[in-house]
Amino acid sequence: MDNTSNNKTCMQELETLLHVHDIEFDTLDRLVMCFLHVMHICMTHVIKSFTDNELTTIADAWIGVFPDKDKHKAYVEAVRLDPITMGHDIVQVIQVSSLRHDEFLDTVKTGNMKNWFKGPMGEAEQVPKLELLHDVRMRWDSTYAMINHLCALHLAVNYFLALPNQKELKGSILSSPQS
């Protein structure tokens, strides 16, 4: 069933009900598309295109976008790493159990109190008290929310993933959101 099927069925039923009361109503003229569903479909295609490895094979075709060769190379490498899938995997691995989730929240709280989190110049940074959010397939904005929270929490995420009791997670370190 596509995004218009439910709306169309609803509008046809409404037309039938209104006609019983001699109220003129044209289903096709009044059809309401589900905007959020259309947005979700569009965003899914954009995100899939953005992380498509084929982009890296034709990188020379869009080299003009990055006049600086180093930035071009960094972008191509970032696309190859598939940052959205990486972010999804990190959230999944931290949220996999309530124990690990609670450990992460404790890391954020304690890290803020003890100034564990350091910015690019070595200065102490406070990390916002946010939850890591899952990318929910049926919510068009959930990928954005997931990435936004990962960026805000990246210092705490990296600190947590590097802890000795999280050895199996060390390969999941995030780069700086500014990189």
Q: Which long-range contacts (CB under 8 A, 24 or more apart) does 74-80 make?
A: 74/179, 79/50, 79/51, 79/52, 79/53, 79/55, 80/53, 80/56
Q: Which two tokens stand for residue 64?
A: 């003009």
Global pTM exceeds 0.75? no
Instruction: Report whether 147 contacts 84 (CB < 8 A).
Output: yes
Taking a C-beta distance cutoff of 8 angstroms, is the pair 4, 33 a contact?
yes
- How high is the pLDDT of residue 93? 86
**Structure tokens, 88:** 């999804």
Q: Residue ranges of the domains in the chain? A: 1-32, 36-79, 82-178
pLDDT at 177: 55
Question: Token digits for 134?
Answer: 């899952």
* Paired strand residues for 135: none
Residue with tokens 């059809």: 31
pLDDT recorded at residue 179: 47
- Looking at residue 8, its pLDDT comes to 78
* Coil/strand/helix, residue 124: strand
Query: Which H/E stretch holds residue 96?
Result: none
**Mean pLDDT of the residues in the chain:** 79
Q: Can you say how many angstroms the Cα of residue 118 is from the centroid of all Cα atoms in its chain?
A: 24
Q: Of residues 28 and 159, which shows the higher confidence score?
A: 159
Using one digit for the tens of pLDDT, what is the confidence trace for 82-99?
778 888 888 988 888 899
Q: How far is it, in rounded angstroms, from Cα 134 to Cα 143?
A: 8
SS3 assignment, position 108? helix
List the structure tokens of 157.
Answer: 């995420």
